[in-house]
Structure 1
């Protein structure tokens, strides 16, 4: 009896009950979905490592549904650098500066060659918003005609080709900016601010859901002025923020401080307002990080002091000085050298990092607002220390 009982127990262990087998089968069917949900929440840098586990993991980590939801980080900057064009000549061309060690890019080559094959000979990046790039493209034919192109470097898709609205007075000074929120990727808007010597009078807006341009009157001060391609711009919480560069009739407060303004307009073109910038921010820079607006300024002489403000109260426009630091002291320099100055180019959208360029050595540096540490990232080489476009890859589908 004991031998028979033991034999029956061994047989049960070899052949699980039907209920257990069904549960195991159900788990096997559910496992890929659970893995996709887990993998879609890990940083992409980890996702790249997981691809090396096996062929099955390679396929799973390459799933577009996983890539679209995977948290992204700052991959680098679109910028300009010198390129050989033959005959011993060089000219400015579009390049990409990869921030190696700061977060691996989702694409090894986020260049815009896929735009050039559409018949354009020159591509100028105007604004990168939410991982989507707005460019001005000149046609390859001998013509001054061009178009605005909205494209996604991560998926190498052209989302829209928009004829440039004409403004006979100051066409080259017009400022075009893109509004796109990767958290709500079903729609994008392109604003073109048409300028004359009297300021911005008219604004053209293209909405992807309507597929057409709409003309509207600017509700800012008639003297509002933007600096074309170099205009500082932040898109945050459905609102476009730009720095007013007009100083033809400068205002001063009772303490003698020059008053500078930031102008805003929402995606619908219904809410227009202006917010006073912090004092002494004449050569400053605005950006956003972790859902908050920042304004920065660095002195061009003396100790090259860096000052950083955060917009604490958006409704009242109240700025608070977050921190200050002497760049020369951080670098261990005894004094300011001739021709030495620093240009602020970007703020990291996910952490307390300010990016700046040292013009004398042509190096890219970062300043950590939490640790007060200044780090040298790399040398720029032939890259120009201006018009840097921060790039965070986005795998959103093209709005329909």
Structure 2
């Protein structure tokens, strides 16, 4: 007797093998997608191997809005834009998207949104030589964008500014831009300009930090629990490295000290929200014994260390993994830096400025994988996780 259409569909869904659990065959594709949407991205992508039908369900464009996405790659480059694909699949970015053109300076990314400074040269007939510029926030996956209005303090040219993006689609479709102000003369945070996409307006707040903190430039932020985290240092305290933490209203400020490593200070650290908690990675010099002299320890190959904040309230960091870099790039700690942390696993990405190579360091398995970048001499990588939902609540153009 011929198989019914329903029976054929059940076989397809289970990979053409007899199901081990007959109840599973009663699940429709919509129910399977709904269940998969509740999983973390790492588990979801592992389930592509369950069967051909699950692989097709997960990869289908119609389901991408519901399913969590993992790290696709990195935007990098200053004079022009490039994308380093680390997912192994097709590039998720359309090269013709306007924000990937050279008139856009990429400043930050956060949960699928890209934060840029758009600038243009003055017309040839103009008497001024100043560039016209404004901020935009874009979702490259949907090609929708929002242009931010200028804030009232834009004319304060003596102030250094560090703008960052804060966005969590699981909490709200709205985003915030936080622009930290620092003095030119004695560089430290003095205030904060805050833009909310919900109100469409800027607000200014003075710094509530109890100590002078200077921000590191060119380092991405981490948004967790309604608080933005950035790396900074204490010029008045031997340049100790700290996290600057602030809420979206600029009312709550605090600092969290980060690990210095085993011995002689912290070099080229980065932070990220990974696997649900705050992680920090840095490059350290690790002596083999406490009696080893400093000059001898510095001749050793440096290590990459991965830490996580086990207890946010007590600010206690725990060393999760470390890996020797004796087979990575070179033995010169100044030649490369820790550039990013994978959001779904214990993988740290290190960047060589001199050779234009990106190393994926699997900290748990102690393995390296080298990628050659199209453009060398870059120190900044912006991680990109696609967001296929229409997240920009007040999009004004495309």
TM bucket, shorter chain:
0.7 to 0.9
Does 2:270 match 1:268? no
What stretches of structure 1 move > 4 A for 4+ residues in a row? 30-33, 38-47, 49-53, 336-340
Q: CA deviation at 1:134?
A: 0.7
Write out per-residue CA displacement over residues 150-183 of structure 1, whole angstroms, 9 at most, x where no aligned residue: 1100100013333254152445x30001110021
Does 35-44 or 283-292 show the bigger shift? 35-44
- Mapped to 1, the partners of 2:104 and 2:164 lie a distance apart of 15
Change (3 A) 1:222 1:74: same
Write out per-residue CA displacement over residues 226-272 of structure 1, whole angstroms, 9 at most, x where no aligned residue: 244x144211222111112342x224xxxxxx632211012232321
Partner of 1:144: 131
Partner of 2:141: 154
Tell me the TM-score normalized by structure 2: 0.74
The count of corresponding residues between Structure 1 and Structure 2 is 334
Question: Tell me, what secondary structure is at the counterpart of 2:233?
Answer: coil
Q: CA deviation at 1:213?
A: 0.4
Tell me the TM-score normalized by structure 1: 0.74
Runs of at least 5 residues in structure 2 that lack an aligned partner in the other structure? 1-26, 39-43, 124-129, 286-297
1:392 to 372, 385, 396: 385
- Mapped to 1, the partners of 2:214 and 2:77 lie a distance apart of 25
Residues 132-281 of structure 1 mapped to structure 2, 5 A cutoff: 132-142=113-123, 143-163=130-150, 165-171=153-159, 173-196=160-183, 197-198=185-186, 199-221=188-210, 223-228=212-217, 230-247=218-235, 249-251=236-238, 259-279=240-260, 280-281=265-266
Question: Tell me, what secondary structure is at the counterpart of 1:168?
Answer: coil
Runs of at least 5 residues in structure 1 that lack an aligned partner in the other structure? 1-29, 82-91, 252-257
Does 2:113 match 1:126? no
CA-based RMSD of the aligned residues comes to 3.2
Partner of 1:343: 337
Does 2:349 match 1:364? no
Write out per-residue CA displacement over residues 52-92 of structure 1, whole angstroms, 9 at most, x where no aligned residue: 97xxx89x9333xx2211120100101006xxxxxxxxxx2
Partner of 2:70: 73
- Mapped to 2, the partners of 1:337 and 1:185 lie a distance apart of 45
- Mapped to 1, the partners of 2:373 and 2:102 lie a distance apart of 25
Higher helix fraction: Structure 1 or Structure 2? 1
The answer to whether the 8 A contact 2:134-2:147 is kept is no
Bigger radius of gyration: 1
Change (3 A) 1:318 1:37: closer
